[in-house]
Amino acid sequence: MTVSAAPRVLLVGMMGAGKTTVGRAVAALTGWQYLDNDDLVERVAGRPAPDVLASADEPTLRQVEAQALDVVLATPPPLVASVAAGVVLDSEARQRMSEHAFVVYLRASLTALTARVGEGTGRPWFDDDPAATLARLYQGRESLYLEIADLVLDVDGVSPSDLAARIVAAVTE
């Protein structure tokens, strides 16, 4: 595939929106490098995000997630990367994403997110009520995702390969 300018595509959205799955699908379709937020957090912190949160606090985890974003933004394109759901809470991070990447918001309904994360095993933040946790975390983020998105894709009922094709089409137009 020929791309006039090498893209850096960032996938944002809530936990369970499909950032990893869609990111891998875009990478498979294009041959671009895929950078996974969870892998980058573990590389930066030396342990997975749930362990960082369990042994520290939310501001520490947010700092590590911002460092993971910095790794993505310092990596030469073309690439596709997933970004931690909460990074959008940081106005400087939002600005850096907007300035240095094509940002895709993978928007999923709370019903779909709840079904996808199940009990929330292996994910930070989850307690006994995943649906309530997702609703609480989602509150206030929608407008931030929309603020930085170059493309918004509703993911409910759409296959990862179809979403990947839409992203590639939008980036290469």
CATH number, domain at 108?
3.40.50.300
Q: Is the bond preceding residue 160 a cis peptide, omega within 30 degrees?
A: no
Residue 2 in domain: no
Q: What is the pLDDT of residues 124-140, one digit of tens each?
A: 555 667 777 777 877 88
Instruction: Give the Å distances, CA to CA, from 40 to 49, 65, 114, 127, 168.
Output: 10, 8, 25, 24, 23
Q: How many domains does the chain have?
A: 1
Residue 3 within any structural domain of the chain: no
Give the chain's residues under pLDDT 70. Answer: 1-5, 118-128
Tell me, what's the pLDDT at 157? 95
Tell whether 34 is covered by a domain: yes
> Which tens digit of pLDDT belongs to each residue from 45-60?
888 877 877 787 778 8
For the whole model, what pTM was predicted? 0.87
Confirm whether 94 is domain-assigned.
yes
Look up the domain containing 107 and give its range.
8-172
